[in-house]
Amino acid sequence: MDEFLLVFRRDFKNREMQPSPEQLQEHFEKWHAWYDKMAREDRIVLRRRWDGEGLVVDAQKTVLNGPYAEIKETIGGAVIIRATGYEEAAELAKAVPILEFGGTVEIRKAL
């Protein structure tokens, strides 16, 4: 088993798919279920809440507020999980609910 960092990002432009209260509830339950599944399969190496602000230092050594590289993006959480390889990590990432509202999951393997 290797360890993988999964970083969740959301596309900021989601008003066109503004969730209904019911969708939001479903979304919440899916997150809950996803983390539960990871826990049941003993895949979680590190799960934490991350500060929503953070900093970015760019090439000019300017320190910017906010952790995102792109203006339109907003960062969600990040988690470190165990998987047999990139392939399995990607399969697990496909079930991450962030994808429902135009988000992405970035996967990095720990060496």
Partner 1 sequence: MEEKELLPHLFRTEYRKLVAVLCYLFGIEHVEIAEDIASDTFLAAAETWGMKGVPENPVAWLYTVAKNRTKNHLKRNSLFEQKVASEIRYSAEKESEIEIDMSPRNITDSQLAMIFAVCNPLIPADSQVALALNLLCGFGVQEIADAFLLNKEVVYKRIQRAKEKLKEGKIAITQPTVTEISERLEMVLTTIYLLYSEGYYSISQNTTLRKELCAEAMRLNYLLMENELTDRPEVSALLSLMCFHSSRFEARTNQRGEMVLYEDQDESLWDRELIQRGAYYLSRASTGEKLSRYHLEAGIAYWHTHKQDSKEKWTHILDIYNHLLAIEYSPVAALNRIYALAKVSGKQTAIAEAQHLSLTSNHFYHSLLGNLYTGINEAQAVAHYEEAIRLAHSESDKAILFRNIARLQDNVG
Using CB under 8 A as the criterion, which residues of the chain lie in contact with partner 1 when the complex forms? Answer: 8, 10, 12-16, 18-22, 24-25, 27-32, 34-35, 47, 49, 52-53, 64-66, 68, 71, 74, 76-77, 79, 97-98, 101
The label of the residue with tokens 């998987």 reads: 83
Q: Which of residues 33 and 84 has its CB atom nearest to partner 1 in the complex?
A: 33
101 phi, psi to nearest 5 deg = -115, 40
Q: Which of residues 89 and 96 has its CB atom nearest to partner 1 in the complex?
A: 96
Q: C-beta of 30: minimal distance to partner 1 in Å?
A: 7
Q: Which of residues 79 and 83 has its CB atom nearest to partner 1 in the complex?
A: 79
CA 29 – CA 35 distance, rounded (Å): 10
If one counts every other C-beta atom within 10 angstroms of the C-beta of residue 11, the result is: 15
Q: Which of residues 77 and 86 has its CB atom nearest to partner 1 in the complex?
A: 77
Query: Tell me, what amino acid is at 68?
Result: Y
Strand runs labelled E in 12-98: 44-47, 55-57, 63-65, 73-83
> Rounded to a whole number, what is the largest CA-CA distance in the chain?
45
